[in-house]
Amino acid sequence: MSDALLKVERLNAGYGEMAVLRDITLEIQRGEIVALVGSNGAGKTTLLRALSRVIPSTGRITFAGRVLDGLTPDQVFGLRLVQVPEGRQLFDQMSVEENLLMGSYRRADRARIAADLERVYRLFPTLKERHRQLAGSLSGGEQQMCAIARGLMGAPELLMVDEMSLGLAPVIVDLLLDTLAEIRREGVTVLLVEQDIFSAFHVADRGYVLETGRIVRVGSASELAEDPEVRRAYLGI
């Protein structure tokens, strides 16, 4: 038996009659950072939605030894597969700390929740300074920190981060990438979904390239970053 944390076999998904993802097969081992890259509309977010069971799919998804196909999004979240959504999706009218605590709503272990709050404040000191500020009034970079921190409050085994770098200055993206590396050192496995392949391959161990709903390349991050076709398609060089 494979001991992959996440195993996806021949997954197909779409919206109504429209097929988006075709025969997706991938694996993530515990402790890896895996990048999923692809251009606009390739199906990256759709794949995360299928993994979180927000949309149905065929094929098979196994996470930490459990088959997810029949589960609800809430049950999947309870298994510690946590998605940080594209566009951050914070509760603008709630404080930073209230947003963070929303990330732990499914947990009953009060002492651990308090310890995790301290942990995310250590990772993101800016959030600690601003814990009473309304999330809607944070800068874009701070909002992304808050979204990642809220994800961590779900005590994820696998954290899936969708388009982390979108709209952010390079210096903030670098800081967030460093934080992801630290999160991984603390034992969290990461699936990083990006259009920005430079960012993604900088921090990832391995990567998958998605093109119009199919995986067209798999390899180590350094191999993919050097792959002439990947460079042509995504960097125009």
Ligand X SMILES: Nc1ncnc2c1ncn2[C@@H]1O[C@H](COP(=O)(O)OP(=O)(O)OP(=O)(O)O)[C@@H](O)[C@H]1O
Q: 118: helix, coil or strand?
A: helix
CB nearer to Mg ion: give 49 or 130. 49
Q: Which stretch binds Mg ion (CB under 5 A): 50-58, 81-89, 140-148, 170-178?
A: 81-89
CB of 227 to Mg ion, least distance (A): 22
Judge contact between 15 and 66, C-beta under 8 A.
no
Query: Could you tell me the maximum CA-CA distance found in the chain, to the nearest angstrom?
Result: 52
**Which of ligand X, Mg ion, none lies near 41, with the C-beta cut-off 5 to 8 A by kind?**
ligand X
Q: Are 214 and 226 spatial neighbours (Cβ–Cβ below 8 Å)?
A: no
Q: Which is nearer to ligand X, 86 or 157 (CB)?
A: 86
Is residue 44 a contact point for ligand X (CB under 6 A)?
Answer: yes
Residue (of 170, 234, 168) closest to 35 by Cα position = 234
Q: Choose one: 22-30, 34-42, 179-187, 201-209; the region binding ligand X (CB under 6 A).
A: 34-42
Which residues inside 141-180 make contact with ligand X, applying CB under 6 A?
163
Residue type, 132: R
**CB contact set of 61 (below 8 Å; sequence gap of 6+):** 6, 7, 8, 9, 11, 50, 51, 67, 68, 69
Sketch the per residue contact string, 66 through 105, with ligand X: x for CB under 6 A, - otherwise.
Answer: --------------------x-------------------
Please give the structure tokens belonging to residue 207: 């990567």
Residue with Cβ nearer ligand X (49 or 206):
49
Among 31, 41, 56, 65, binds ligand X (CB under 6 A): 41
- The CB-of-199 to ligand X minimum distance in angstroms stands at 13
Comparing CB distances to ligand X, the nearer of 76 and 117 is: 76
Q: Which of 6, 20, 33, 127 binds ligand X (CB under 6 A)?
A: 20
Amino acid at 229: E
Beta bridge partners of residue 84, listed in sequence order: 161
Query: In the numeric block, which tokens belong to residue 232?
Result: 């042509």
CA 124 – CA 157 distance, rounded (Å): 20
Q: Does 143 sit near Mg ion (CB under 5 A)?
A: no
* Under rule CB under 5 A, residue 99 binds Mg ion: no
Whole-angstrom distance, CA of residue 237 vs CA of residue 231:
6
Quick one: 44 or 150, whose CB is closer to ligand X? 44
Please give the residue ranges that form the binding site for Mg ion (CB under 5 A).
44-45, 86
